[in-house]
Amino acid sequence: MREDVIEFLLLADEPSAADIVASWYFEQWCRDTGRYTQEQVLAKVLAATNRDQAPMLILARLNQELVGAAELKIREMELYPDYEFWLGGVYVAEQARGYGVASALVKEALARARSAGIKQLYLQTEDLTGGLYARHGFVPVAQVEYKGLNVLVMLTILAE
């Protein structure tokens, strides 16, 4: 029986992964909405190359294959200019779903946010139940329509 090992690294340490992540993000969130071009998505991904502060893009590898990503972002929603730090772009490639990659990415992002001194972390999700994020301590703040989507804004407090 094969053992599945999830490893984490940063886009800052593997910049060649930017094209793959941008393709995932574009296909998942932008192709049908026309919100951003693939080039614009790539530029946003390439901006997340910090190692110890946001914006930071975290990559997940499963059995040596790049299978997921998550970002620590700054001011993701114009509706909430006072909400500084956000978790976003949590994505797992289809072939790696069901192995706990998304949950592991969220845990890793929370740990890196704490290490960066972030005290509160927000996110938006189309899953109005909170799903994965509720299981990791995020609580609902508001349900709003944003860029044509009904989303749940959630928050977790990282500071003790």
Domain positions in the chain: 6-116
Half-sphere CA count of 106, side-chain side, radius 13 A = 15
Average the pLDDT over 104-119 and give the result: 96
**Domain covering 6-116: architecture:** 3-Layer(aba) Sandwich (3.40)
User: Euclidean distance between the first and final Cα of the chain, in Å?
Assistant: 41
Q: pTM (2 decimals)?
A: 0.92
**Which segments of 66-100 does DSSP mark as H helices, in order?**
none
Mean pLDDT across the chain: 93
**Do the Cβ atoms of 66 and 105 come closer than 8 Å?**
no
Tokens representing residue 111 in the block: 């740990």
pLDDT of residue 49: 94
- The tens digit of pLDDT for each residue in 33-73 reads 777 888 999 999 999 999 999 999 999 998 889 999 999 99
Rg of the chain on CA atoms, in Å:
15
Average the pLDDT over 3-8 and give the result: 83
* Distance of alpha carbon 74 from the chain centroid: 12
